[in-house]
Amino acid sequence: MYAIVDIETTGGEYNEEGITEIAIYKFDGIKVIDQFISLVNPLKEIQPFVVKLTGINSKMLFNAPKFHEVAKRIVEITKDCILVAHNANFDYRVLKMEFSRLGFNYERQTICTVNLSKILLPNQPSFKLGNLIRNLGIPFSDQHRAHGDAKVTLKLFEILLEKDVKKTIINKNIERLNYNIKNSNYLKIIDSLPTEMGVYYIYNNKNKIIYIGSSNNIKKQVSYHLITNKQKSIIVQKDISKVTYSITGGKLLTLLKEQNDIKKNRPILNIYIKYRIYPVGIKIEEDSNYLKLVIEQVKKNENYINVFKNKKLAELSLAKWKDDFGICLKKTSLKNNTQIDCFNLKLKQCKNNNHCNESPEKYNLKINNLKRSLDYPYSDFLIIEKGRKNGENSFVLIENKKLNGYGYFDLNYQIKNKSQIKNRIISVNENHDAKKLICTYLSRKKYLKLIHLQ
């Protein structure tokens, strides 16, 4: 649980400031579940430059509550939370100072979005809140007011949570709360999970991710792990300590996030997907005048026009391409396999097909047409899907015919340029598995729209 905080002060000597406004959004990693926003009477003068910066003056604060009148509410809303702020040292110091004046020792762990942004958004030209927010394409109103700054810090933190594919932020939260969930607490784990689409992360009692999965209904899928007697589920039932999750919104984004997070975190129970979902590929060899289609185990640094879960599916695709594109199976790696048909299930009849005797130029054109049909429709484009909540969409960015990553944007604030797209994108490694997932998804046309980036 996180408490996104921003504080405005009177200015003045170090540790002599007073709070003039405070905003706190209690955030569970998915949505805001509570909030507190209030002006505060600091019982002292406000520095003129602060009045000019924030617009808050002494007249506005005359009838505002004093800090001791809001202190209890601040303690309650931040209980069991990590404080998150942009330049957290400042906000936390001022809060501790105000509580110490009341004789109360206020202790919380903190996360600084400045430091976190420098790690997860290293290429930003500036980490000042206003500059960073503008570069990410996040709408920003009421700048230098606590509620406005806290709201955009929350938006920034949501992006940073997505960028944090190794889950170091969530791990810190788990370690702080020191969960020690036993098998008897399965119901408690299940009750905490949503029924929405997303990716989930199962931890053991050493706070290590042992399994990553995805589902249209996270609660239902995790419940399945805890009641079935499959080998993987038995291990989960024995070792499970905690389940965290990320609501994703779109189906394609869910699949890409799942496979990317598995490859990044390498959980012990995702043994196959750690390496490849589709281990068999078909590539084009140019050893002779005729382009040759070859089936083989996927190798690093090789280019494949398509990949498959097994060799049988690859062979079936070759047979289908024979009919759809006029491919000659004798000019593939199946030429010596008498179990594969070339024409009416018999290789010996292939000579009756004109495409087997056509010129290399004409035949190779068919191979290139096949290759284009299996590629992305544009060099640069966005795939738009629904977002994690109402008023939001998700996008997947393809650039130079390679997967770049994914992100989210508010419907009432359209992303205006490529720079804004790239600033807020969560990078995903381009690989044959990801391309297969994308091309399969595109063929089913389940997306909201494609945006061709000129």
Q: Is 188 exposed, middle or buried (0-12, 13-18, 19+ CB in 10 A)?
A: exposed
Pair (25, 142) in one structural domain: yes
For residue 216, give the nearest of 190, 253, 185 by alpha carbon. Answer: 253
Q: Which pairs count as long-range contacts for 388-394, CB under 8 Å and 24+ apart, including other chains?
A: 388/30, 388/247, 388/248, 388/249, 389/31, 389/247, 389/249, 392/249, 393/249, 393/448, 394/248, 394/249, 394/250, 394/253
Contact 203, 269 (CB under 8 A): no
Report the CATH number at residue 50.
3.30.420.10
Residue 176 pLDDT more than 70?
no
The residue ranking higher by pLDDT, 450 or 167, is 450
In terms of Cα–Cα distance, which of 338, 360, 368 is closest to 350? 338
> Residues 404-435: pLDDT tens digits?
989 888 776 666 667 777 777 888 888 898 99
Q: Is the pLDDT of residue 80 over 80?
A: yes
d(CA 164, CA 171): 11
Confidence of residue 390 (pLDDT cuts 50, 70, 90): confident
For 169, the token pair is 């932020």
Does a structural domain hold residue 426?
yes
pLDDT at position 180, please? 36
- Counting Cα atoms < 13 Å in the Cβ hemisphere of 313 gives 10
Whether 170 maps to a domain, the answer reads no
In sequence order, what are the beta bridge partners of 127? none
Rg of the chain over CA atoms, in angstroms? 28
Residues 147 and 187 in one domain: no
Residue 359 and residue 365: Cα distance in Å, rounded? 10
In this structure, the answer to whether residues 235 and 209 fall within a common structural domain is yes
Residue 97 and residue 143 share a domain: yes
* Pair 10, 123 in one domain: yes
Q: Is the confidence at residue 338, as pLDDT, over 50? A: no
Query: How far from 402 is each of 184, 259, 268, 408, 428, CA to CA, in Å?
Result: 46, 16, 29, 19, 10
Q: Which amino acid type is present at position 409?
A: F
Among 110, 130, 163, residue at a domain's last position: 163
Within this chain, do residues 47 and 6 fall inside the same structural domain, yes or no? yes
Q: State residue 416's pLDDT score.
A: 61
Kindly report the average pLDDT of the chain as a whole number.
85
> Can you tell me which residue has the tokens 């969409």?
393
The β-bridge partners of 174 are none
Q: How many DSSP H helices and E strands does the chain contain?
A: 16, 16
E-assigned strands of 10-51?
Answer: 19-27, 32-39
How far is residue 120's CA from residue 168's CA, in Å, rounded to a whole number?
A: 11
pLDDT tens-digit map of 189-236: 888 898 899 999 999 988 899 999 999 999 889 988 887 778 888 888
> Residues with Cβ < 8 Å from 418, sequence gap 6 or more?
453
Q: What is the pLDDT of residues 274-315, one digit of tens each?
A: 677 889 999 999 878 889 999 999 988 888 999 998 999 999
Residue type, position 389, single letter:
K
Tens-place pLDDT, residues 21-31: 999 999 887 78
Whether residue 273 is contained in a domain is answered as no
Would the pLDDT of 173 be above 50?
Answer: yes
Residue 58 three-state SS: helix
Condensed to tens digits (0 to 9), the pLDDT of residues 248-273 reads 988 999 999 998 899 888 899 987 66
Domain hosting 312: range is 280-373
Which of 339, 373, 407 terminates a domain? The answer is: 373
Final residue of a structural domain among 265, 293, 317: 265
pLDDT in tens, 8-18: 999 888 888 89
Residue 347 predicted with pLDDT over 50: no
| CA angle, residues 14, 19, 21, in degrees to nearest 5 | 140
Q: What is the residue whose two structure tokens read 């209890």?
A: 72
pTM of the predicted protein model: 0.66
- CA-CA-CA-CA torsion for 196, 197, 199, 204, nearest 10 degrees? 30
| Residues 286 and 239 reside in one and the same domain | no
316 SS3 class: helix
Count of structural domains within the chain: 4
202 near 240, Cβ under 8 Å?
yes
Q: How many CB atoms lie within 10 A of CB 15?
A: 10
Q: What is the CATH number of the domain that holds 191?
A: 3.40.1440.10
